[in-house]
Structure 1
């Protein structure tokens, strides 16, 4: 027997999803039956099912999984209460632009066995779909006060403002289209989470075997192609950088695409442009590169920022904090981003002379193409900047060395001491990943880890604490299994400011033990 749930799970696997982080409930029996059918028929289920005792940990694990391998995972939760229990992890996957497919069931809408999956437990009157109870309250004057119903009005509204797409599955006939629509939006920039839901009767609806086994063409539901700059904009940016006396590049999350980092390095080296990494969420530039000048949280001052006459801000949510540090008034600022207006961020503004919606890799490639005719006349100036950057690198590394070797007189340790020992103890640095949820110590940890390898340090990209423990489980599942393309030897989580306790350690460690992601 095949149901809507059969097509639901098959569509996920045919769209490339391999892992589902789940917290089962009374709305999921058809999904469980389909998984068991697969196990009986094939010896295993098509999806790798990761049971998660807590929903926020489940979504954090899915986020870490996607950050580690670039592919979305599924998260399955229980009605409206499971949706609410996703908690701050919803904020993290939204702000961090991480693609995740979230599905929640809903309580049945029939109560007397009219359809398969009808209500058969008392809890179903307290959750899910609006179902009115014959209760009327009268005041002492016998005036109608209210008529009660005990269900949520709009389940999707709980998370809608964080989602790239929300939708309801109404039939097995088009469930695959709804899923593919959701994943298409999740994987289009700016990437992010999507949320689908369905009532129990719909997921238990029987479908024809031919429909359940029909092949899907996922190619016609491909995400958007990367956006390019207007050619005149690419030329204007190239000319401005070439004519600058003190150019500067600022980025935060460009390193999510390794090929964009390659182009950034080429541009930086071509014109000897210093690169400032502000509020990073991943490794954007080699720490040992002479053109890498500093990691900033926006709280301190930067003479590089204050003296720059031309600034390219590319893929950055917080390039600087104006109250603490901002460019000089006559600086020409160009802002290139997949979401330059930060449409869901509230108040956001950069004093840019040009802002462009474009993919970083494509935009940088275009800018490089326009450089050839602009570089020759300024070779001497480029060489002078390059020499200045080499001198700065020597001072920067010396400063880090001093901080790491200096021990407090009271016999305690500093963060630089501890991070240096950790860094130097790595058996194979290129096969190690750090998850940085140190919060107040973000800049110190980033600096003293001195990351050289792309993807070797990641953070949540947002502000809800508790990401790290679940994310570490997800990273392990993505990068340590036999099918991992680039396997890791070691995963290290650095926590601070209460982020360990916010991560629901009881659930996270249960998952780590159950799925062998911790040793």
Structure 2
């Protein structure tokens, strides 16, 4: 029986608690493939769940989704420099989303005349040998290291995971030359205990006593306070603490660029969502005298103006407090600054509990009047949402139906999920709808922690791979009312995002590993976001009146059939349908057609345990 460094590597991953490895094999992995077959022959199976991923970005996106729902890192194995490059934008997403993932890549052999086992014997070994392979991803990693010997391999893996799981959490990258990974080892290395017992993550931090008193006093005395967050809800323990603090002091909450469920939609002091397009910031920002920014990506954009031409930013007199669990200065971003009076690194749940305890039974300035005023803002916002979800009573004067809107589609999905009988705890929505981000968050109306998640980054192509990973992770984390995994997962994407997700690989994986989820494709005929970016800089320019195809951001006139891509990739296993209000016939209204189609898609996922894709045609850009 031959054991190698690769045997020890896979053994170490299993020993330290890694359960799933998303792999894309190459010429640097012969010893790993041999070890997996050795395990199968001797033990009848593998110590790790190996998930074959035909595309590297999909592999890392799946690991990303897995880690988001389990709270535990997965591993990804890719091929030398080219596989590392093919991880693509998923590297950015894992970094910005603060998701712990262990990435391993092999590297070309360093010998060429058979001096060592694994020496160069293929022409690509010369082509794929680069000066500094980890530099491809180093600025996105929390830690990079080369495996130089089997002797300290368990230490390297444990150090990498200790760093990956400490705030600010994130991906780590290990790599090894083929000769090192082919090196034969003694059986004793496999018998030495390998645990994380003495390699704990860094404990969450608290606010200093001075910071607690200063923030609590300011909130108690404030006439027009405001709370802002983006991803506080990633920490499920912070969810109730945030809601409680808002309630006891009647503090309005505004969510900017959310990537997690941070507050129940029904919370009376939630006043809205925004991805900070000009004119979409809450008016409360300008009038606020105390602002607490906690776990936020970007709280406001200083140069943006509202419809009246006023800057959408705090007044110079406002007191501003910034709290972040791991990186309050955003050191990984080239330029970032908040005009703040106090900047703190602290765990959101701990910090909010500290502030709540400091307040005790004290009453905030003007509590009752503010509570009434803020609740009215909340109610007006909810009424706007309801109005946007309605369908016209009859077709237009021309006799045609208006195109579907995102609020109508999301509300229809929400109703279908509720009618299906699945539990809230067993339902998960993945949002990568880009220009429709705030509409999806608003109209899905999440109520519990973890109900909706995003990638946390801005590189498109996360959602479909994450669909596979979250189904697998949900089973491991025993989600759902029966603890058997999520009962229903849905992903909402744009048509451009759908293509970025590499659907051929994602839906092949979904069938191979039986990970059913629904995908709603919001088809507006191209990339709306680049057009909006152009209008933000050139509102009256030559392109302001051009349609998407003229601007080269459109996919027309002949767009792909998105649902059938999924059907073909899965060998006919996935179910797909395209729905357009303009094609409503057979006595059905556009509303009935949409409702029946989405209801059937939900049924296919829940009852038949197959993927379903519904392409919904919107107004073209």
TM-score w.r.t. length of structure 2:
0.77
Tell whether the 8 Å contact from 1:245 to 1:309 is kept in structure 2 after alignment. Answer: yes
Q: Which of 138, 145, 150 lines up with 1:160 in the alignment?
A: 138
The answer for the alignment partner of 1:250 in structure 2 is 228
Tell whether the 8 Å contact from 2:471 to 2:485 is kept in structure 1 after alignment. Answer: no
Check if 1:391 corresponds to 2:389: no
The answer for the alignment partner of 1:477 in structure 2 is 472
Rounded to whole Å, the distance in 2 between the matches of 1:333 and 1:448 is 30
The answer for the alignment partner of 1:146 in structure 2 is none
Q: Give 1:490 shift.
A: 1.0
TM-aligned CA distance change 1:187 to 1:247, over 3 Å = same
Q: Which of 491, 500, 503 lines up with 2:501 in the alignment?
A: 503
Check if 1:36 corresponds to 2:21: no
TM-aligned CA distance change 1:70 to 1:349, over 3 Å = same
Rounded to whole Å, the distance in 2 between the matches of 1:461 and 1:32 is 33
Q: Give 1:283 shift.
A: 0.3
The correspondence of residues 181-196 of structure 1 with structure 2, limited to 5 A, is 181-196=159-174
Q: Which of 443, 447, 450 lines up with 1:448 in the alignment?
A: 443
Rounded to whole Å, the distance in 1 between the matches of 2:125 and 2:405 is 54
Q: Which of 414, 424, 430 lines up with 1:423 in the alignment?
A: 414
Q: Give 1:217 shift.
A: 3.2
CA displacement 1:291-323 (0-9 Å, x = unmatched): 111111112131121221101000001111112
Tell whether the 8 Å contact from 2:80 to 2:106 is kept in structure 1 after alignment. Answer: yes
Q: Secondary structure at the match of 1:102?
A: strand
CA displacement 1:417-469 (0-9 Å, x = unmatched): 11110001002251211111110011111111111121111111111111111
Check if 1:231 corresponds to 2:209: yes
TM-score w.r.t. length of structure 1:
0.92
TM-aligned CA distance change 1:125 to 1:12, over 3 Å = same
Tell whether the 8 Å contact from 1:439 to 1:497 is kept in structure 2 after alignment. Answer: no
TM-aligned CA distance change 1:230 to 1:481, over 3 Å = closer
Check if 1:303 corresponds to 2:283: yes
Q: Which of 280, 297, 300 lines up with 1:320 in the alignment?
A: 300
Could you say which structure has the greater relative contact order, defined with CA pairs below 8 angstroms and 6 or more residues apart? 1
Q: Which of 512, 515, 534 lines up with 1:514 in the alignment?
A: 512
Q: Which of 434, 439, 442 lines up with 1:439 in the alignment?
A: 434
CA displacement 1:110-155 (0-9 Å, x = unmatched): 1222111112222212213xxxxxxxxxxxxxxxxxxxxxxx1100
The answer for the alignment partner of 2:175 in structure 1 is 197
Check if 1:265 corresponds to 2:243: yes
Q: Secondary structure at the match of 1:311?
A: strand
Tell whether the 8 Å contact from 1:271 to 1:382 is kept in structure 2 after alignment. Answer: yes
The correspondence of residues 53-452 of structure 1 with structure 2, limited to 5 A, is 53-128=54-129, 152-299=130-277, 300-324=280-304, 325-337=312-324, 338-372=326-360, 375-376=362-363, 378=364, 381-407=366-392, 409=396, 410-411=400-401, 412-426=403-417, 427=420, 428-430=422-424, 431-452=426-447
Rounded to whole Å, the distance in 1 between the matches of 2:107 and 2:241 is 47
Give aligned pairs, total. 493
Name structure 1 gaps, 5 residues minimum: 129-151
Rounded to whole Å, the distance in 2 between the matches of 1:497 and 1:318 is 26
Q: Give 1:481 shift.
A: 6.1
Rounded to whole Å, the distance in 1 between the matches of 2:244 and 2:478 is 33
The answer for the alignment partner of 2:538 in structure 1 is none
Tell whether the 8 Å contact from 1:440 to 1:497 is kept in structure 2 after alignment. Answer: no
Q: Give 1:233 shift.
A: 0.5
Rounded to whole Å, the distance in 2 between the matches of 1:207 and 1:301 is 60
Tell whether the 8 Å contact from 2:22 to 2:50 is kept in structure 1 after alignment. Answer: yes
The answer for the alignment partner of 2:613 in structure 1 is none
Deviates more, 1:430-439 or 1:1-10: 1-10
Rounded to whole Å, the distance in 1 between the matches of 2:475 and 2:6 is 30
Q: Give 1:482 shift.
A: 9.2
Indicate the RMSD between aligned Cα atoms, in angstroms: 1.5
Q: Secondary structure at the match of 1:436?
A: strand
Rounded to whole Å, the distance in 2 between the matches of 1:460 and 1:293 is 23
Tell whether the 8 Å contact from 1:480 to 1:489 is kept in structure 2 after alignment. Answer: no
TM-aligned CA distance change 1:480 to 1:166, over 3 Å = same
